[in-house]
Amino acid sequence: MTTIYRTEGGARRLEQQYRAVLDAWPVEAEHRLVPTREGDTFVSVSGPAEAPPVVLLHGSGANATTWRGDLAAWSAEFRTHAVDLVGEPGLSARSRPVLDSPAPAAWLDDVLDELGLDHAALVAMSLGGWHALDYAIRRPARVDRLALLCPGGIGRQTYGWLPAAMLLRLFGPWGVRRTAGLVTGLDRQTLGPVLDSIVDTFAEFRPRTERLPVFGDQALGGLAMPTMIIVGDRDVMYDSAETARRAEALLPNSSVTVLPGVGHAVLGQTEQVLEFLRSR
């Protein structure tokens, strides 16, 4: 079993906090634990049973709470399936399939099969965006459309923020919170509770450290499904200018939005994503 937490006590504490949030979920939901080749995978399912299916994939160091502010709007018209990625601080198995391999797509095959989904739209963020792109490239018939927020796999990862982060960490809790703000681009004055939650998680959680594979021109050019990409121009994690440039040049059926003054955490896009999901 992969050691993704610093201590088991910390893992239990994060799980208790997560379950408390799930108990106060903003919409009626069925919480399922589905078997996969990577271990059990947690999925929170909401919305009308006969509505078009949407699968939600969060980013690194997160879980289904990523979508808490979006679900009321999205699940009113769609059957949403908020998946906890394996190997992340949710309720799924701790296994981490090798990214540059068929394993992530095979895991998502199992998730969709267990949910009874032959195909679905994918809404995804950051690491989840990488998973969504990988799956669409390998299983295009199962992906209706892609809505990607600050996705990995198109623009290269950047590391210019690391020296500042290492320096800030010398200043204890204050520096750790400043580091979280630097990496996410979130404003502590308006989104302090979100930043505090991120700091709390990473005090106990060990994220993936490998570089995300970047998809080649041919692979991206073969994605024919409608695709919406939203990035922030101040993202310090990925080269958002390169993401926008490659997406506009290579994805034949895409729209790209670059948000000025926004960092890696692309939040508040509920209506934009909903309009995209509605479009035909």
6-64 pLDDT, tens per residue?
Answer: 899 999 999 999 999 999 999 999 999 999 999 999 999 999 999 999 999 999 999 99
Sheet with strand 227-232: strands edge to edge: 30-34, 41-46, 79-83, 53-57, 120-125, 143-149, 227-232, 254-259
Q: 246 pLDDT exceeds 70?
A: yes
Q: What is the pLDDT of residues 133-147, one digit of tens each?
A: 999 999 999 999 999
- Is residue 59, in this structure, part of any structural domain at all? yes
Residue 256 lies in a domain: yes
Task: Tell me, yes or no, whether 264 lies in a domain.
Answer: yes
Residue 22 lies in a domain: yes
List of residues 6+ apart from 189 with CB closer than 8 A = none
- The number of folded domains in the chain is 1
Q: What is the pLDDT of residue 19?
A: 96
Is 172 or 259 the better-scoring residue by pLDDT? 259
pLDDT at 184 over 70: no
**Is the pLDDT higher at 221 or at 177?**
221
Judge whether 206 lies within some domain: no
- CATH code of the domain containing 218: 3.40.50.1820
* pLDDT exceeds cutoff 60 at 165: no
Evaluate whether residue 194 is within a structural domain.
no
Is residue 120 included in any domain, yes or no? yes
Q: Which of 278, 212, 235 is nearest to 52 (CA)?
A: 278
> Residue 54 in contact with residue 123, Cβ under 8 Å?
yes
Domain containing 115: what range? 8-157+211-278
173 belongs to a structural domain:
no
